[in-house]
Homo-oligomer: A and B are copies of this chain.
Amino acid sequence: MNLTMIEAAAARMAGHVRRTPLLNAPLLDKAVGRRVLVKAECLQVTGSFKARGGWSAVSALPEAARKRGVIAYSSGNHAQGVAYAAARHGAPCVILMPSDAPQVKIANTSAYGAEVVLYDRATQDRDAIGARLSADRGLTLVKPFDDPQVIAGQGTVGLELAEQAKEAGVTAAPVFVCSGGGGLASGIALALEAKTPVLQVRTAEPQGFDDMARSLASGQRQRNAASTGSICDAILTPSPGELTLPILQRLAGPGAVVTDDQALQAMALAFTHLRIVLEPGGAVALAAALFGPDLPETVIAVATGGNVDPATFAMALDRFA
């Protein structure tokens, strides 16, 4: 992975994937006592940054493979990103989703035209189901993060961020990025390294699912003890990627960890001050940028997604807005 691949991904997605705004709000800055800039990937065409990696991977496939189709495993945002990209490329698309994924994500993935296959997260082997489907139909697996084209696609966020931070007069800032497997964080880190090394990526994860923070600290891939138990469904990946961790070890600061309540509170503040809809997993980086220890004057957070069930959103407002 390098800048050339990221720039090529950006060129392939032009007109299909949105350049998202870098938002700020004077009253949010006033409330938290620092300047907070938010890259609003919830405004991405499928409601999360995953449209970038999905588009990058599907558009990079050889024509014959694309015609046979693609398959992806996802709790919802990668699903929608790949389904959207496949539909626009006329490629058949199968998505394996856990049966406890948010209803809105399952419904949307179907609405993009994908064939959704549900499995039980606790009792069924996702990889085995996927391998059988792939073999039967000749589908290409689009991995959620540990794939060079996916990382390159997510890295396009970094290209935009480098330009937007410069326009906003930012001279140095940590860039908090919600992290499951680290595909987005590693892609952004590569882009920022090339474009504006004054911005440094810091991963952000929910408490109890801080495999990336522990892996960065120890230098070895660590696993989470559980696979469920946080409201941040989008980013409960068991461990960092094999490709992503070395990139982040080289380029990222220490991993940040926030509580579920802090993520909900960040959703409420984003509602009030930025007027954007975030899902819990998409608000983790903003929570780290708002509530973390030892923060500098200016912080950037990538708000990664906004595909949230109305009841969960209403609960965040009821408790924290």
Q: Which residues of A contact B (CB under 8 A)?
A: 18, 20-21, 23-27, 30, 40, 42-43, 45-47, 84, 104, 108, 111-112, 268, 271-278, 306-307, 310, 313-314, 317-318, 321
Contacts and interface: CB of A to CB of B under 8 A. Distances in A.
A111 B21 CA distance: 24
Given A271-B310, A277-B276, A21 B24 contact: no
A274 B43 CA distance: 6
Contacts of A104: 272
A106 to B, nearest CB: 13
Contacts of A111: 27, 30
Contacts of A42: 275
Given A21-B21, A26-B112, A84-B26, A275 B47 contact: yes
Given A30-B111, A108-B27, A314-B317, A43 B84 contact: no
Given A26-B112, A27-B112, A271-B310, A43 B318 contact: no
19 contacts: A18-B21, A20-B21, A21-B21, A23-B43, A24-B45, A25-B47, A30-B111, A47-B273, A104-B272, A268-B310, A271-B277, A271-B313, A275-B277, A310-B317, A310-B318, A310-B321, A313-B317, A314-B314, A314-B318
Contacts of A25: 45, 47
Going nearest first, the 10 A-B pairs with the smallest beta carbon separation are A275-B306, A310-B321, A275-B277, A310-B317, A314-B314, A42-B275, A27-B111, A47-B275, A314-B317, A21-B21
